[in-house]
Structure 1
Amino acid sequence: MTPLWYFLFGLSIFFMIFWSGKWVVHLLAIVYAKYRLHRKAQLLPLETGYPGVTILKPLMGADPNLFSNLETFFTMNYPLYEIHFCIEDESDPAIMVAKRLQGKYPSIVSKIFTGGSNVGVNPKINNMYEGYKASNHPLILISDSGIRMKEDTLLDMVNHLKDNIALVHQMPFTCDRTGFAGTLEKVYFGTAQARIYLAADLLNINCHTGMSTLVRKHLIDEAGGLEAYSCYLAEDFFLAKSMIDRGWKITVSSQPAWQNSGICEVQFFQARLRRWVKLRVAMLPLTLLFEPLSECLVLGACTAWAVYFLFNWDPILFCLVHTLVWFFCDWILLSIIQNTTLPFNKFDFVIGWVVREACSPYQFLKALLSPNIKWRSRTYKLKWGGVAEECKV
């Protein structure tokens, strides 16, 4: 036995263990999705009443879906909340959209904050800062502009805010959208993203994304306010981390976050994925190794070699069976998360799934080769640990 043989033996064992772990994640996600998601929220009598919620809506630009998305926040079944529209540019067309909704729903407390504040490098926090300072309620809901709400979504999130819970977040998903880009988005968020998100929540691992987050305001203030997270672009991750570090728990609500941006293009979607890769690599360097290996085709090829080396099994047959079972598990998970009829047929799902799986390693490599992040009109450079600085032109 040569040193090379021992190295290859150890590598093959590693691939087998990692492969087995990914299948555990698959099964956990499917079972947890069935148990956790899409429970009907009810307005239950509480001795102290339901706590008030300040909704922070950072806006920039007015895409075709902005009005309908924002309108869902005015029609929620929750007893006490206010909406703070945060808009950096005083000439932004989003202001007119917000004013139209204020006129249509005068009974809902809402305010518009313009100009923002320069408290750090993170443009989202700069935009929300004035709206946050003016909040009047003990709970803060930070919600991206492209999110739609159901009537009971806020109620569902508040009902999950138990005594030991500091933060409730929604699992990212998408509304039904037409075209191949809409299919690709739904396949990604309902399979690859959901698999990790649900398993991480079950295992109490920080997987928080900040597109729809309900958090206790006093815990943010104890940490130094929103500005304490303004040195990061991934402020959502570090916000959740600070809660966990202080002994609190975070949890996912039973309703996913329904993304409905007016921009639905493959190029735009892939740019988002690359931006998130760059953030994960900067925050968690082990992402460089484990994320590419977590993809179906890469992991299948590596494990096929491992079983050939260890057991002399047919690697092509193994890889085909691995891919087929992975595919069916993804279909099951997506169907559970959708909870209704999918907006595309099985053939469309096959095409979307194959394209996403095949393109993922390329998108990961492309993100590494261009580490700077472009966000709106700004460009940022990431340092290890997730701290960012703006690149001045």
Structure 2
Amino acid sequence: MTSLWYILYSLAVFILIFWGGTWVIHLLAIGYAKYRLHRKVQLLPNENSFPGVTILKPLMGVDPNLFSNLETFFTMNYPLYEIHFCIEDESDPAIMVVKRLQDKYPHVTSRIFTGGADVGVNPKINNMHPGYKAANYSLILISDSGIRMKNDTLLDMVNHMTDDTALVHQMPFTCDREGFAGTLEKVYFGTAQARIYLAADLLSVNCHTGMSALMKKSLIDEVGGIEAFSCYLAEDFFFAKSLTDRGWRIAVSSQPAWQNSGLCEVKSFQARLRRWVKLRTAMLPLTMLFEPLSECLVLGACASWAVSFIFNWDPLLFYLVHILVWFFCDWILLSIVQNGTLPFNKFDFVIGWLFREVSSPYLFLNALWNPTIRWRSRMYRLKWGGIAEEYKV
């Protein structure tokens, strides 16, 4: 046997080991989702036992769902919290939306901070910095503008903030929205994203996204406050890394983060996916190898070749069975994450699932081809390690 044969044999073995590992991830995610998600919590009789929470809401612009999304923060069943709305532009129409809610719910403590600060390259941290510095409570909840809360969501997150836990984050998911884009987002966040997110939390791997995250403020202050992370665009990842490096735990709460942006389009969603790929590859270069290989269609094709090469099995039959079983595992996981009736039928799921699986390798390659990141009106380049620098077009 030639050296080429040994190389191909070793490659086939590696692919099958990796393929088997992905199925372990599938099973772990499904089992952990059933165990972890959608638990019910209630306020205890002694409400004084709950720590105060400062909610930072960075806002920019108004979408059709902004008022209703923000209103859910004024109606939460939690005894002690304040909301700091951080709006960089003093002429931003989001200010009027917030003021309407302040007038409607005067009993809820809330303030508006405008102008931001110039502490680094990250525009989100620049925007939040004044609100962070004025926080009155020991816990900080950073929550993106498109997040919708249930009345017990904050209670659920605080309930997971144990003595050895420093950060509690919500697994990204979406509210029910009409149209193909809404279906596509729910399929992605309830399958591919949920699978990695849940398995990572179970295995204590940092997979934190910052769209809804509760942190102990004193531990962030120990390393210089949020401004210490302003050199990164993916500040959420580095928040978690800083905490885990110091021996603290991070945990996923039992309620997912209900994204409910009023602008739901396939094009904008795919732009988000490309931006996340660019951030991941800059922070974790091995992503360039393992992420595309972990996709259903790519991995299935590689595994089909591997079993054909080693065992002389029918590669087409193996490939079809691989796709079918993967599809049903994703349906099961999405149903668990949804915790109720899905807003679309099985045919819509098939179309959305196939579209995501087919387009994913293209989006990944497209992101690598053009590593520049556009964030609203700003442009950034990333260095290895995730450090960002802004540049003018």
TM-score bucket of the superposed structures, by smaller chain: over 0.9
Deviations 1:15-73 (A, max 9, x none): 00000000000000000000000000111245961000000000000001000000000
Q: Report the counterpart of residue 348 of structure 2 in structure 1.
A: 348
Query: What does residue range 37-56 of structure 1 map to in structure 2 within 5 Å?
Result: 37-45=37-45, 49-56=49-56
**2:248 matched to which residue of 1?**
248
The Cα shift of 1:194 comes to 0.2
- The SS at the match of 2:28 is helix
**For residue 32 of structure 2, what is the aligned residue in structure 1?**
32
Instruction: Please tell me the residue identity of whatever aligns with 1:122.
Output: N
SS at match of 1:262: coil
Pairs within 5 Å for 1:172-251: 172-251=172-251
Partner letter of residue 100 of structure 2? Answer: R
User: How big is the alpha-carbon RMSD for the aligned residues of Structure 1 and Structure 2?
Assistant: 0.7
Question: Partners of 1:209 and 1:47 in 2: how far apart?
Answer: 30
Query: 1:386 aligns to what?
Result: 386
Q: Deviations over 1:114-148 (max 9, x none)?
A: 00000000000000000000000000000000000
Give the drift of 1:255.
0.1
Q: How does 1:361-380 map to 2 (within 5 A)?
A: 361-380=361-380
Unaligned runs of 5+ in 2: none
CA deviations over 1:72-100 (Å, ceiling 9, x no partner): 00000000000000000000000000000
Q: Secondary structure at the match of 1:72?
A: helix
CA drift of 1:392 comes to: 2.0
Read off the aligned partner of 2:314 and give its amino acid letter.
D
Match of 1:98 in 2: 98
Q: Could you say which residue in structure 2 is the equivalent of 1:282?
A: 282
Q: Secondary structure at the match of 2:279?
A: helix
Equivalent residues in 2 for 1:306-345, closer than 5 Å: 306-345=306-345
Please give the secondary structure, in 1, of the residue aligned with 2:163.
Answer: coil
Question: Counterpart in 2 of 1:300?
Answer: 300
Residue in structure 2 matched with residue 76 of structure 1 by the alignment: 76
Aligned residue for 2:363, secondary structure, equals helix
Q: CA deviation at 1:259?
A: 0.1
Question: Please, what TM-score do these two structures have when normalized by structure 2?
Answer: 0.99
Aligned residue for 2:121, secondary structure, equals coil
| SS of structure 1 residue aligned to 2:232 | coil
Distance of 1:110 and 1:131 partners within structure 2: 11
CA distance in 2, matches of 1:114, 1:155: 28
Q: Aligned partners of 2:208 and 2:379: how far apart in 1?
A: 24
Q: Which amino acid aligns with 1:190?
A: G
Corresponding residue SS for 2:199: helix
- Aligned-partner Cα distance in 2 for 1:57–1:203: 30
Gap regions ≥5 residues in structure 1? none
Match of 1:132 in 2: 132
Partners of 2:332 and 2:377 in 1: CA distance? 39
Letter in 1 for 2:16: M
Residues 53 and 171 from structure 1, CA distance in 2 versus in 1: closer, same or farther, beyond 3 angstroms?
same
Tell me what 2:2 maps to. 2
Q: Share of identical aligned residues, percent?
A: 80
Distance 1:48 1:181 in 2: 44
Q: Which amino acid aligns with 1:141?
A: L
Amino acid at match of 1:149: M
Cα 1:109/1:47, change in 2 over 3 Å:
closer
Partner of 1:268: 268
The number of aligned residues is: 393
